[in-house]
Structure 1
């Protein structure tokens, strides 16, 4: 691909800053950064690899901030972390054998699906409820499954972890969101390691975007600690729909 201009690189850093904040509040920051990289004419697999590099810094910052602030609750996160990491590693290995055109088709489908899910899902409540799924099944199937998805496409992974914690484990939204950041960091680390050995990483682009991610993630984590969790549904829906329209337009599939 051709080298990115300084102006375009600066714009990607700005997108990463917004994504870091959104990811800390609701998850789904990749719904901003991945389409932005594709809009910048970065090939799909390179975009996925570079997206993991920059998002690792954001999820690490928000995860540490929330954990230190006690927002994750008293649940031990070692097992969920490694379950998410393992699923993501498998998905990242498999995605490199997919045809680039298949990835181009999957991105808008994923964006539309996530938007519809958050539009029609029941409203979040801040009350802890009885779990609908046992811990063993949740750790062995649901978490690795979401991790696998993150290793292949990845948009909205934090939102899926949050929604799964609330709907299947009966968690309150703030602990679910905080725990989602920790598991999302595990999925990003797994993908980053696999992609690093594949030669698909755009290190300069990912490193520059990482700066924006760190700043945005800190701001987003602060917002959650002050009650920003109520923004979850509208933030994710607006981002999904906006990126879907923009992506379809860039691909020439709209208008």
Structure 2
């Protein structure tokens, strides 16, 4: 790759890390950047998992220091998410993604509509509708596998589930989401590494940007809270929905 490509990858890593730390969806920036650099799809996905894991790890550390990781059954959810994502990454080579590519945009659109209509979404803690243990197991397995297999919208589905079903406010839901996202990223990354599907120089350039972007984004979440997260979350889900619809039907 020419030197200018690594500069663009650094900037893409910064943007992806910033958005990902706040509302998820950083892959909207980083995956197209890796594909545009000329990497094959499988290697682009593996490289993206490596660089995003570094940015997510930094955000998780920041949220832990701010006390946003003291949530019930978080460790169990992370464990299930880790192992399920390994199964999802392995299944990439065996199963057809077309059905998911067709269904997921409509699910994300539902998330956006629900969030937009509910003006108090995640502003204050709400009611718990299902046991946290059941939530950790069900979402850890389902979304962990999904993240390893396909990925777009994983963080949004975690956040909406945590707020709607466990009654969390958006700050704590963001911390929980980043922790389980890190687990599923690491699980699927292990499979991509075993398959040799990682371009380390490209990942290095993006990791440098991720560190700065994730630090800035997580700092804003800790300081600003739900009033800042909600509009960013809505924008990310909306853009992600349009992009996935365009990719499938465009």
Deviation (angstroms), 1:90: 1.0
1:118 corresponds, among 112, 120, 125, to 112
1:211 corresponds, among 192, 196, 208, to 208
Answering whether residue 219 of structure 2 is matched by residue 225 of structure 1, we say no
Q: How far apart, CA to CA, are the structure 1 residues paired with 2:147 and 2:241?
A: 18
Match of 2:45 in 1: 48
Provide the aligned C-alpha RMSD in A.
Answer: 2.7
Q: How far apart, CA to CA, are the structure 1 residues paired with 2:53 and 2:206?
A: 11
TM-score by length of 2: 0.86
Q: Structure 1 stretches of 5 or more lacking a match?
A: none
Deviation (angstroms), 1:98: 4.1
The Cα offsets for residues 156-205 of structure 1, whole Å up to 9 and x where unpaired, read as 32222222111111111111111111111101110111110001111111
Answering whether residue 82 of structure 2 is matched by residue 88 of structure 1, we say no
Over 3 Å counting, the alpha-carbon distance change for 1:15 and 1:108 in structure 2 is farther
TM-score by length of 1: 0.84
Over 3 Å counting, the alpha-carbon distance change for 1:77 and 1:41 in structure 2 is same
User: Which range is displaced more, 237-246 or 163-172?
Assistant: 237-246
Match of 2:26 in 1: 29
Over 3 Å counting, the alpha-carbon distance change for 1:47 and 1:236 in structure 2 is farther
User: Which range is displaced more, 16-25 or 226-235?
Assistant: 226-235
1:155 corresponds, among 152, 166, 177, to 152
Alignment: residue pair count: 247
Q: Structure 2 stretches of 5 or more lacking a match?
A: none
User: Within 5 Å, which residues of 2 pair with 1:1-255?
Assistant: 4-75=1-72, 77-98=74-95, 102=97, 110=104, 113-121=107-115, 122-123=118-119, 124-239=121-236, 242=239, 254=250
Q: Equivalent residue of 2:124, what SS?
A: coil
